[in-house]
Homo-oligomer: A and B are copies of this chain.
């Protein structure tokens, strides 16, 4: 596969691969949210969350629109959530394996 394509794929995955951003995306499972709702909901610094959202926007994971003073954010593609679901699935299986390994204790 071409180097450029791999870089673009890596960028999409990188945009997902961070706890604070995952937290934001989980909040967005139920649809559009205002940044002013996200900040208290995930108990983060406003400037930090602003940066994370603008980062995800650059990587086309989310879109935003202005509503007065507020900025509404939503996830662009539903496939994003399918990816997160698969990651959950893999993690759960890993956990089960770990349990098995220590079940003799």
Contacts and interface: CB of A to CB of B under 8 A. Distances in A.
Contact of A90 (B6, B7, B12): B12
Q: How many subunits of this chain does the assembly comprise? A: 2
Nearest to A15: B17
Nearest to A5: B91
Question: Interface range on chain A: under 10, 10 to 19, 20 to 34, or 35 or more?
Answer: 20 to 34
A22 B8 contact: no
13 contacts: A1-B23, A6-B23, A7-B19, A8-B91, A9-B19, A10-B17, A10-B18, A10-B22, A14-B18, A60-B90, A77-B93, A80-B90, A82-B86
Contacts of A79: 86, 89-90
A13 interface: yes
